[in-house]
Chain A
Amino acid sequence: MKKLVSLLLALALFLSCAALAEDYYPAEKVSYNVWIRMRPMNGNADDMEIFRIMEDKTNIHLNFEQIPQADWEEKILQNLNGGKDLPDAYYSGYSLTSTQLLFYAGQGLLLPLNNLIEEYMPNFKAKLEAHPEVKAAITAPDGNIYSLPFCRFDGLTGQIPSNMFINKVWLDKLGLAVPTTIDELETVLTAFKENDCNGNGNPNDEIPMTFKFEGSQRDLGGLFGMFGYADNLYGGQHHFCVDDGKVIFTPATEGYKKACAYLYEHFFSKGLIDLEGFTMDKATYNAQNQGEVANIGSYFSWNIFDLGQAHMDEYVPMAPLLGPDGTTSWGYVTSSGIETVGLVLTKDCKDPVNLIKWADLTYDDFYGMQLEYGCIGTNIVELPEGDESGYKYDYVREYPDGMTYDEFLFGNTYPDSCLALFRDFYDTILPMPDSAKAKDKINNEMYLPVATTKYYPTLLFSAEDNDRINEIAPDIIGKAEEMRAEWLARGGVEDQWDEYLATLDAMGLQEYIDIYQKTYDNAYN
């Protein structure tokens, strides 16, 4: 019986391959209206070579409505809330949060894709079979799949969202070593603050340590790990971590209280960590350190080049520090590299089949690679057969005048959309980008050994739970983050802690935790 089934399957596969070769794609040009989310660095999507290549291959044309990243969320939600004149699809690696995805799917605005995937997405199906964790992450509790994911397992989207970096030139000048404990960090930052480390004659323009109060990458939540669990402000995890199967809301733990008190007393009140971290936007954060001399002593980021490319060479990574009682922890994510929503089809998409066929092509690594890293001949070169590196392709490393790698890349192609590049791809086809390799090394050597705070994995909630979260979470998260900022910047955690816990309880914290616990149990037990 089994044999027969596999024979039939093989036959079906053969037939579909045959079909692929012939009139798999439409004979006459088909067009779709697609909203595409544009980053400031992106070039014009209509001019991108990769979309032309895919159009030539499939005879499917995408009419892009290019929407700047800054307006994306508001525009797309207005569009969906109106429920009329929807485009055929929304396209980008971060088009909707998973909460939004489920909400609008529940309202009947998004198409379930299960049957389409089954019938018309051979490449994507193969990816899902090879990586069941991806399938788990994108399948809603009702069994439907509403989105095509963006997966990139390259170390940049690695298990450790945030690293710390410190200015080695300053350390050398002061005769200090890279700190390994929180006490040493205090000493070093004090020295940074008091001395004219960058040698420009002004001893007051050095910022000992900076961060940005948002997300999981540039925030200082990792430091909380020294007192218990690391904390993060990232939407998908919302301060949640999992300890031995038990879901924990970090802002209501004793360690969190200690962390706020300690960081205020030893760092913020002494001006050792920049208060502007609470008020800067991302553009301002990234624009720091671009002057003639470096002025940042240390910082948090997902990658060394995120801040101050002008003085990148001066910085070295710093491992998680040992806390006052000699312990530490750092946060890690298990579902790293999977973004649930890369492409969604709306109810107004009258002919989803061809669009799905187009999308399936992005899960063919040959096209996925060019979407993510640029076209062969422009951003990527083909290596001769049997190249000693063992790879088939490599990056073009000479960028046109004055361009950075990112500018060169984002100008030519549309990275971080629906596609899936896994480890085997980076092992055999194309090496990881240099930045990803560097980050991978830092993570493996310095962070993963002490990363014991497991952030809540990416999961989809049931429609009912999702509505409930939508209702109570904003108050709870809002309160927790307001007080976190308040205590770090101005202290007072000891006096206000009990009242704070009572407020969270009144807002429905227990129910909120229960929903997360239940969903986690269903997925992993």
Chain B
Amino acid sequence: MVRQHWPLYLFLLPTIVYFLLFRFYPMYGLQLAFKNYRILDGISGSPWNGVENFRRFFSTADFGKLMWNTLGVSVFTLIFTFPLPIILALLLNQLPSLKYKKLVQTTVYAPHFISTVVMVGMIFLFTSPSSGIINKIAEGLGGKPVHYMAEPGWFVPLYVISEVWQSTGWGSILYLAALSGISPELHEAALVDGANKFQRILHIDIPGILPTIVIMMILNAGKIMNVGFEKAYLMQTSLNIRASEIIATYVYKRGVLKSQVGLATAVGLFDSVVNMILVVSVNWISRKVTDSSLF
């Protein structure tokens, strides 16, 4: 087998090495979740302390709020950033003019390349109550300026809107690729039968990319607990903190800045377990409902 198909195995090798090195080897450090980390004793030499790290995390006064905020941000992000790239890809796919299509694609990909730090800087500038463009327009139309970054209620909308702006174009690439795999004969046959554009999208395009959509859905379910830490952290202000303190920022502040490595690892492990449960259940549901699943 190997000898016969050795080029294929060769192609596989880098991926295996990557996973061993960067995905499996670090799991060795997971034991810190149950340990009181002493730096000089190292990871394996530190004394065990049972579930003390977990107890401390769950008994945090604001645990409920942290959980709620984290889920709020990620669920809303998922609801909006998941379907939009699909819709965009379906629309782009229908464009007859190749030139125009390329132009639109390039334009909507562009925001993806802005770094998070710059992105958040832009959010602050645009939403400033004294000089931000959004408030200037609102004032010009007779509205009152809103101090967006100071309102806990605006944290999630701003987070989601900027996320949509940044990721929709990039996310549509995958679906465009899937769409291009659909046989043109199907469309031709439908045209002969007198199907209009909408009918063709509904009955050819969407079923054609449904497996891709399902797989992306399952993969995204596994990321629910890892909301973009950088962005949430940078968008935090003393006035929106009640909405913007999520598990990841909490871990950074307590675990990294206060050197509580055990606590940080425990929370990381907790996140992974929740993610794992979500992936398995979404996968199970999808296998029952659509017949396509990841495993």
B contact residues, range:
20 to 34
The answer on a CB contact under 8 Å between B239 and A100 is: no
Stretch from B36-44, B82-90, B97-105, B218-226 that touches the partner: B36-44
Complex CA gap A485/B259 in Å reads 27
Complex CA gap A108/B239 in Å reads 39
- Shortest CB distance B277–A (Å): 28
Q: Which B228-265 residues have a C-beta within 8 angstroms of A?
A: 237-239, 241-242, 253-254, 256-261
The answer on a CB contact under 8 Å between A107 and B237 is: no
The answer on a CB contact under 8 Å between B56 and A471 is: yes
The answer on a CB contact under 8 Å between B149 and A279 is: yes
- Shortest CB distance B228–A (Å): 17
Contacts of B60 in A (CB 8 A): 475
Given A77-B259, A507-B61: A486 touches B39 (CB 8 Å cut-off): no
Given A275-B129, A278-B239: A474 touches B254 (CB 8 Å cut-off): yes
Contacts of B239 in A (CB 8 A): 278-279, 485-486, 489
Q: Which of A279, A470, A507 contacts B150 (CB 8 A)?
A: A279
Contacts of B256 in A (CB 8 A): 74, 77-78, 81
- Shortest CB distance A41–B (Å): 20
The answer on a CB contact under 8 Å between A474 and B253 is: yes
The answer on a CB contact under 8 Å between B241 and A482 is: yes
B62: interface (CB < 8 Å): yes
B128: interface (CB < 8 Å): yes
Contacts of A382 in B (CB 8 A): none
* Residue interface bits A214-238, CB-to-B below 8 A is 1, else 0: 0000000000000000000000000
Q: Which of A104, A278, A475, A506 contacts B237 (CB 8 A)?
A: A278
Give the total number of A-B pairs whose CB atoms are below 8 A apart. 80
Q: Which A334-358 residues have a C-beta within 8 angstroms of B?
A: 347
A515: interface (CB < 8 Å): no
- Shortest CB distance A94–B (Å): 15
Q: Which of B40, B42, B62, B254 contacts A109 (CB 8 A)?
A: B40
The answer on a CB contact under 8 Å between A482 and B242 is: yes
Complex CA gap A495/B155 in Å reads 25
- Shortest CB distance A352–B (Å): 18
Complex CA gap A485/B258 in Å reads 23
Complex CA gap A78/B239 in Å reads 29
* Residue interface bits A67-85, CB-to-B below 8 A is 1, else 0: 0000001100110111100
Contacts of A83 in B (CB 8 A): 39-40, 42
Q: Which A268-288 residues have a C-beta within 8 angstroms of B?
A: 274-276, 278-279, 284
B130: interface (CB < 8 Å): yes
Given A81-B261, A474-B253: A279 touches B238 (CB 8 Å cut-off): yes
Contacts of B61 in A (CB 8 A): 475, 479, 503, 506-507
The answer on a CB contact under 8 Å between A207 and B130 is: yes
Q: Which B129-148 residues have a C-beta within 8 angstroms of A?
A: 129-130, 147
- Shortest CB distance B268–A (Å): 14
Complex CA gap A500/B39 in Å reads 37
The answer on a CB contact under 8 Å between B124 and A279 is: yes
Query: Whose C-beta in chain A lies nearest to the C-beta of B42?
Result: A83
A367: interface (CB < 8 Å): no
Which of B60, B61, B147, B254: most chain A Cβ within 10 A?
A: B61
Task: List residues of chain A with CB under 8 Å of any chain B CB.
Answer: 73-74, 77-78, 80-83, 100, 103-104, 107-109, 205, 207, 213, 274-276, 278-279, 284, 347, 470-471, 474-475, 478-479, 481-482, 485-486, 489, 503, 506-507
Shortest Cβ-Cβ A-B pairs, 4 listed: A83-B39, A485-B238, A279-B237, A278-B239
Task: List residues of chain B with CB under 8 Å of any chain A CB.
Answer: 38-40, 42, 56, 60-62, 124, 128-130, 147, 149-150, 237-239, 241-242, 253-254, 256-261
19 A-B residue pairs with Cβ-Cβ distance under 8 Å, sorted by A, are: A74-B256, A77-B256, A77-B257, A77-B259, A81-B39, A81-B259, A100-B259, A103-B259, A109-B40, A205-B130, A276-B129, A279-B239, A474-B258, A475-B60, A478-B241, A479-B61, A479-B62, A486-B239, A506-B61
